Amino acid sequence: MRLTRAGSQNRWKARRDGIQKVTGELKYLSDMSFPNMLYGTVLRSEYAFAKINSIDTSEAEKLPGVSAVLTSKDIPGLNGFGIVIQDQPVFCEDTVRYVGDAIAAVAAETQEIAEKAAALIKVEYTPLQPITDPEVSLLAKTPKLHENGNLLHNAFYKQGADVEEAFANCACIVEEVYYTPRQMHAYMETEGGVAVPHEDGLTIYAPTQHGFKDQLQLSRILNMPESDIRVISSPIGGSFGGKDELNIQPFICLLARATGKPVKIHQSRRTSVKAGLKRHPMKITMKTGADKDGNLLAHKVRILADTGAYATLGPAVLDFAVEHSTGPYRIKHVEVEGYCVYTNNGVAGEFRGFGGNQVTFALESQIEKLAEMLNISSTALRRKNLRKTADPGPVNQQIVPTAGAEQVLDEILKSPILQDKPPNNESQPFILKGKGYSITMHGGGLGYGRSDPSGARLSLNEKGKLEISFGFEECGQGLLSTIEMIMTESFACSADDVEITIGDTAKVPHSGSSTASRATNMVWTGINKMKGSWCDKVYSFVSQQSGVPLEVLKTGHGGIWEYQENGNSALVMTYKEVADKISELPVVTASYHFPTTPESIDGGHFLYSFAGAAAEVEIDALTGRVYVSKLDHAIAAGPVVNPMGYLGQIEGGGSMALGFTLMEDAVMDNGKYMTENFDSYLIPTILDIPKSTNVSAIEELEDGDEYGPRGVGEIGTVAVAPAIVAAIHDATGHWVNKLPICPEEIMEFAFTKISKNDQNGWLGGDKG
């Protein structure tokens, strides 16, 4: 199915929350305010690495309007947080490890007073030399940033016999080093929220992708039962993984408990840049060999990921990168080793693509370079080595049979971009054009060995609505519309018949995180698991009340209908009538897990989506600027549930990948960010978006595949960078190994290419 915005109107429904958003009616959690609310701020370290000698809060405490000043001594429970490893202090006690580490927090009557009070806190430091190079961090002589050393996580995978022996039998070998940037999530809504104390505990209004995980972590910090902590986590003004970890929540909770009043913190963009998570920058050394016929024989990979000062989800990101190092290809002899390393740089964590973007850029570049060396097309090389339907996964694990790799390769090759090389325009002699493509596969869910449960609840409420409840969050991805569409299709009811409850730990079952491209699949699975039992309860009551046989009753618009063989139908009882008359409102719950491979491979996935991306570039040889004029996608992710949401995810993911490839890098120098705001950190604007984008959705699943739709929140970002790099090579003959692409590097090779092809004498002045 080809998705376009010009589709028939009955297929493109308005988002359930769309009108509220475009009119400004919708209140985000950082918009919340309450009576007697105080304003908070956090004093953060200006040093990347230093010992704390003393902290003096006395002057801050004396400032009129200040209600509380807190440091590590005021934490009643665990002074640490982290989804996997609780190694990040809420407040630093004796050491700061990055610019942005929290030292103290203030609550005051106004934001201005709070900030003034924070400035009055005196901290005496002994500065230390920051460790900013991950390679140096691994050396035995380097000071330890954490008790167990500077190596956070090591992941290893080996397949086949001795890889070096396999290289000896290769006719062609490509060995390169690739570098990827520290990318910002750049969500519109920075981290913020309000904590409201009450007799029974706390209610936290804060944008997060995992309300129940926040609840667990906060219970440790506050030394409170989880049941006394309510987290309202939706709606979110953008996240892309950056709000899966705690950010301001510990501070507003501690301040609210200390003052007995609601406390709000909404971080400025500058603070968000300094303290927020980023994509893991990686150095990937990759050596790939093939025989003279193009059979891939050997593949050796070393991945070095800079996780910054604290762990967050660094181990899982590294595992994912290691797993996807061979992508959709079958290679006989493989050796992959990955290192996730602590440094004094900014903290890296979860980010859309989760390590797949970095390693796919390297892998697909290797495929292109090998094909060039073998003097065959990259398509021929891919086809010869592409995984087949029944093949195991990339780390030789059992997965659901899928032809996704072949499907996206076949489909992306149909892209108009790839049919003919775009002609150069004689009126623009310094503009070079090129085309390229790449493919990828991407695992969904958290993977083997990681708890990945989900839950759902379906009820008929007192208002006569089919109330569906999940513990997921709406962070802009269109989840509400997706839930609505699955419900209306499953029950043949109208959108008005459905009430959706999400993002509130007091009202919803634990459904796991709104991450890892898992939410759509878990929603689809949950509704399908509950539908039969719920309908049985309702049909039984309606049949008893009406005398209509059970077998002819079905759900429909407005209520329960009688359907006859002749095609006639009649409304038997409205949902509201059922709710008013039934003695006990029908409620059905379901508990289940995201499908996981049975193989004992840490992080190994079971369900995969696939993507192909084709790019056309225009390169200005005078400036080195690269403009992606066209970008097409082929996606194999099972049935399309929400066409507009699907298209939006792939188009939006492609735009985010443009930034990753062409312009975004949160550069650090000696542990300090060189940018503080979006005036010096460039992200794609509407002027950078391709003039033409086509998205082809491949919906077919293999016979026996009953796992339903796969998520597409990440897959649209993964294959774009290597497609653009291949197009640049097509235009200039130069291969790029470092992202984001440097205009000065491109300018040199583009200008050389124009000089060689200067048939019209442009450079000699014959044309004026």
Annotated domain spans of the chain = 29-128+191-266, 282-447+600-756, 453-593
Residues facing 201 on adjacent strands: 198
**Are residues 368 and 380 in contact, defined by beta-carbon separation less than 8 angstroms?**
no
Q: Residue 63 corresponds to which tokens in the numbers above?
A: 């400032």
DSSP strands (E only) in 583-691: 587-593, 608-620, 626-636, 668-669, 672-673
Position 766 pLDDT exceeds 60 = no
- CATH topology match: 282-447+600-756 vs 453-593: yes
Whether the predicted pLDDT of 768 surpasses 50: no
- For residue range 319-332, list pLDDT tens digits in order: 999 999 999 999 99
Pair of tokens at residue 344: 């004094």
One-character DSSP codes across 709-729: PPP-TTHHHHSHHHHHHHHHH
Q: Using CA atoms, how far apart are residues 353 and 513, in angstroms rounded to an integer? A: 15
pLDDT at 602 over 90: no
If you average pLDDT over residues 432-447, what whole number do you get? 96
Q: Supply the pLDDT for residue 423.
A: 76
* pLDDT at residue 752, rounded to an integer: 85
pLDDT of residue 122: 98
- pLDDT of residue 685 exceeding 70, the answer is yes
The CATH class, in words, for 453-593 is: alpha beta
Determine contact, residues 204/193, Cβ cutoff 8 Å. yes
The pLDDT of residue 1 is: 80
Q: Is the pLDDT of residue 767 over 50?
A: no
Match 């990055």 to its residue by tokens: 98
pLDDT in tens, 464-508: 999 999 999 999 888 999 999 999 999 999 999 999 999 999 999
Evaluated on CA atoms 141, 142, 146, 152, the torsion sign reads negative
Share of the chain above pLDDT 70, in %: 97
User: Could you read off the pLDDT of 243-293 as tens digits, one per residue?
Assistant: 999 999 999 999 999 999 999 999 999 999 999 999 999 999 999 999 999
Q: Which sign, positive or negative, has the C-alpha torsion 493, 497, 503, 504?
A: negative
Task: Name the band, by pLDDT with cuts 50, 70 and 90, for residue 760.
Answer: low
Which of the following CATH numbers is that of domain 29-128+191-266: 3.90.1170.50, 1.10.3720.10, 3.40.50.720, 3.30.70.20?
A: 3.90.1170.50
How many other C-beta atoms can be found within 10 angstroms of the C-beta atom of residue 371?
Answer: 20
Nearest to 690 by CA among 753, 754, 745, 626: 626
Query: What's the mean pLDDT in 727-743?
Result: 97
Residues 6+ apart with CB under 8 A from 397: 448, 597, 599, 601, 604, 605, 606
The number of angstroms, rounded, from the C-alpha of 114 to the middle of its chain's C-alpha atoms is 33
Listed in sequence order, the residues at least 6 apart from 284 whose beta carbon sits closer than 8 Å to its beta carbon are 177, 178, 179, 180, 301, 302, 303, 304, 358, 359, 362
Compute, in degrees rounded to 10, the torsion defined by CA atoms 676, 681, 686, 688: 180
Tokens 């984008």 correspond to 693
DSSP letter for each residue of 337-380: EEEEEE-SS--B---TTTTHHHHHHHHHHHHHHHHHHHTS-HHH
Q: Which residues contact 686 (CB under 8 A, 6 or more apart)?
A: none
User: Hey, what CATH topology would domain 282-447+600-756 get?
Assistant: Aldehyde Oxidoreductase; domain 4 (3.30.365)
Which of 506, 294, 312, 496 is CA-nearest to residue 385?
A: 294
Query: Helix (H, G, I), strand (E, B), or coil: what is residue 618?
Result: strand
Q: Is the pTM of this model over 0.85?
A: yes
pLDDT of residue 599: 86
pLDDT of residue 759: 55
| CA-to-CA separations, 390 to 382, 387, 595, 657, in angstroms, rounded | 17, 8, 17, 31
Q: How confident is the model at residue 422 (pLDDT cuts 50, 70, 90)?
A: confident
Decide which of 643 and 425 is more confident: 643
Mean pLDDT of 50-69: 98
Question: What is the average pLDDT across 556-561?
Answer: 97
Model confidence at 195: pLDDT above 70: yes
pLDDT at 414: 97
pLDDT tens digits, one per residue of 686-724: 999 999 999 999 999 999 999 999 999 999 999 999 999
Q: Locate 696 and state its tokens.
A: 């082809």
* Chain center to CA of 764: 50
pLDDT at 421 over 90: no
305/253 Cα distance (integer angstroms) = 33
Residue 270 near residue 509 (C-beta atoms within 8 A): no
Which tokens in the block code for residue 246?
């705690």
Share above pLDDT 90 across residues of the chain, in percent, rounded to a whole number? 89
3-class secondary structure, 548: coil
Inform me whether the pLDDT recorded for 226 exceeds 80: yes
3-state secondary structure 269-285: HHHHHHHCCECCCEEEE
Binned at pLDDT 50, 70 and 90, residue 6 comes out as low
Q: What is the mean pLDDT of the chain?
A: 94
**Would you state the pLDDT for residue 671?**
97
Could you give the angle at which helices 378-385 and 404-412 cross, rounded to 10 degrees? Answer: 160
Helices (H), 591-696: 643-662
Asked if 604 and 447 count as a contact pair (C-beta separation under 8 A), the reply is: yes
Least confident of 398-412, 678-692, 742-756: 742-756
Q: How far is it, in rounded angstroms, from Cα 604 to Cα 152? A: 19
